Structure 1
Amino acid sequence: MSDFNATDLHNPSTFFLMGFSGLEGSHVWISIPLCIMYAIAVLGNFTILFIVKKEPSLHEPMYYFLCMLAVTDLTMSTSILPKTLSIFWFNSREIYFSACLTQMFFLHCFTVAESGIFVAMALDRYVAICHPLRHSIILTNPMVAKIGLAVLLRGVMLALPYPLLAREWPYCRTNLIAHSYCKNIALVALACADSRVSNYYSLSVKFIVSGLDLFFITLSYSQILRVIFSLRTKDARLKTFGTCGTQLCAILVFYIPDLFSSVMHRLDHNVPQHVLILIANVYIVGPPMLHPIIYGMRTKQIQDRLFRLFTHKRT
């Protein structure tokens, strides 16, 4: 633990994640809700994957994209939470520099990928509602696979510069990361070099992902709403809107915490550090926990399959 006070560093092989500095005595209590949320996220997303795989009627683009979302949620949360919980439970703070960079890459890659999946889901709803007769022609299985691959490749390309830049910086101040995982902004604070390139790049990615993706999602749903309000009967409008209302809830669950976290970091001089760290952890595990709950509660096909699954086990 003497390395905690190291100050004459250049490229340390290990870093130490400090967790919630100043609240070490409460680490176990903080870990309990995070652990419960992570367990629900893992169980819920694996349930979604199982149901879609076993139910032939769900083998269509909407549910393929939902499976992509589940895999992304599982990967994003699993890249962070196990190490965070080990800090809280076993005081296992040490992390190799290469593992830190890997964690950073996975976090950014799958955050970007998740945003892209929501764009793909919005496109699916747009085609299904605005051009229903062409839905099966446009969104074929090969096209869905290509969209999924493009979303993943975009995530990889946009996330790769983060660890590449961080690997080149000298670290001559300390090897203590004031966070519970390797967040880019926390690692930038330790570098003894001009980090403006990283800051500019982060802002660019934020604009590309949050800005452009939200623009395309808003554009898709504006066209969807135009078609819905043109329907003659109220029942038809409600039924059509119900097919995309679930996705709107999932989109809000993903983007609102991200926006809130960004605003809080801009006000970090007025917000305690442990509050920022808590918000960052909830943002990682919150959407993966809520997405399967939202789809389970609002999607009749998934509800029916779950009901048959449990009633079959009882009999």
Structure 2
Amino acid sequence: MPKHTAGFVYVLSNPAMPGLIKVGRTRQLTESRAKKLQTTGVPVPFTVEFRALTSKPEAVEAVAHKLLAASRVSLSREFFQISATVAIDAVRTALVDAAGLNAWADDEEYEIDDRIALTLRANDLFAVFELPHVMAPTMDLVDLWQAHSDGDLLELMGTNDPGHTAGFSDADPGGDDDPVPFLVPTKKVANATLFGRERLSAGTRLAWIRPTADGHACQIATFQMLSHCQVTARTWDPQVDSNGWPILLNFVTTELERPGIIRTLKAVRRMALPRSWAPRNPDPTSDWALPAQQSQPPEYWMHQLQNPGIRRKSP
């Protein structure tokens, strides 16, 4: 089993239960969970009003239930006498609170088959540090990313083969394609809007940085890549510039000369060197495997699509 996996927190409604909303969690696809809830006592299927991918489904569900406690029908049931809109707002708030920066320990190690989903706040920064070569004494800052709205999602997906990964900034073939455009095998439910796709090599350190309002300090969590990694950034609230062009992950608007940011970047650079290493862009004539050589289907990146858990009727 991978160390880190992702699941869903969902909002369901049912025409047979007017005025009631179910808020729950699952490690399967939300549609699979909704289908299982249609027992003999439920005459019509549940409707999925909202689902959110997260690495902290238990914590997010708990915070959402607390926010909605005054409207809960029974402590032994996950039903609330509210509108779907109110429930969705509560889940989105819970995602930022329970699956955001404070939920992650410093210097998490990230391995093959790990799946991490980080819920961001607007203006959160990510700093990418790499060793320029295996004998280098310190890591170099090679890239900066920024979230542009509350609730943006950064997904880290491990793989043992850099050929499966592609990055927009590296102008890789397929670097601007969505690796998981749909959330169900039928392809009828679109994923959140992709506003960034990048790749990380083994040995890369990713620092998640949130400056304080006065700019004199930062909250931080770091992730150390033990394998290659596909990164995607998604949003339910796409941002555009004054010309109508989409604002992407690597479009940084935060003032980087703030004292807290400068000190934080220097501190990350002084951290211990990684236990593994691979070049970001290896020489094609070398023995290193090359990136962006073999794209993978959506079920490779989202494991739930391999086994959706929906019972199929016999032919």
The bucket for the TM-score relative to the shorter chain is under 0.3
More helix by share: 1
More strand by share: 2
Give the TM-score, by structure 1 length. 0.27
Structure with larger RCO (C-alpha < 8 A, sep 6+): 1
Give the TM-score, by structure 2 length. 0.27
